Amino acid sequence: MRDFIDAFHEFEGWLEIMREKTVRFSGIVELIRPHLAMKMGRQGNTVRMDDYFLSFERGHMGNDLFDDRIYLKISEGFLKRFEPAPGDEIECDAIFGIDKGRVILRNPRRLELIKSGGQSPLTSSRARVGRATGKIIRGSVSFCKDCPYCCLLDVEDDRRQKSSFYRRFYCLRGIVDPEHCPVRLSMLVKNDSSDRVSKRF
């Protein structure tokens, strides 16, 4: 326990040292999602889109491996200009920051595509449709792991006297109950068909 506490304090100190520094970052893009924020009020709810996040399972800050999730915030102009896609290995300079427990890099510069992942990029039109039609997921989000239509939603709840801030999982397809999601069910059918073919041959 003492070793864990010492390591935790060391990590906290590292985060404080890194905060607001420009770092050389490299990593492989796992997901691309719009950054969505919902404001809940007595008169109703509104969802706005605040640029985009590239998500990385891990990445290098200079020569240091950060073995945890990292987000790189990019603008719509950046998205259209560079067309990043899942599987792309990129390198850039960005400012290190922390937001409610998430490590978020922002203001990327000097971006280089080290290796293309060969997948289709996210378009701004698809993201805007998802913002308009999406719903907060009410069921178990375990079904939504790795789903291309699932993203985090920052919520500001003003329905009570004191505002509260939290996050929810948001389905860009508008599916509230993941257990009956057509995307999940189609994947189950596809996997079942693949298993049958492999067993036959």
pLDDT in tens, the chain (201 residues): 888 888 888 878 878 888 899 999 999 999 898 999 999 888 888 888 889 999 999 999 988 899 999 999 999 999 889 999 999 999 999 999 988 788 999 999 999 999 998 888 777 787 888 888 889 998 788 878 778 788 889 999 988 888 889 889 999 888 898 888 887 777 666 655 555 544 443
User: What's the domain count of the chain?
Assistant: 1
Pairing, β 135-136 against β 164-171:
antiparallel
45 and 38 Cβ atoms separated by less than 8 Å? yes
Would you say residue 12 lies in a domain?
Answer: no
- Does some domain include residue 69? yes
User: Does the model's pTM come out above 0.85?
Assistant: no
In a domain, residue 11? The reply is no
Closest listed residue to residue 77, CA positions, set 51, 95, 54:
51
Is 13 part of a structural domain of the chain?
Answer: no
Between CA 102 and CA 28 the distance in angstroms is: 18
Domain of 143, in residue numbers: 20-200
Distance CA 136, CA 177 (A): 9
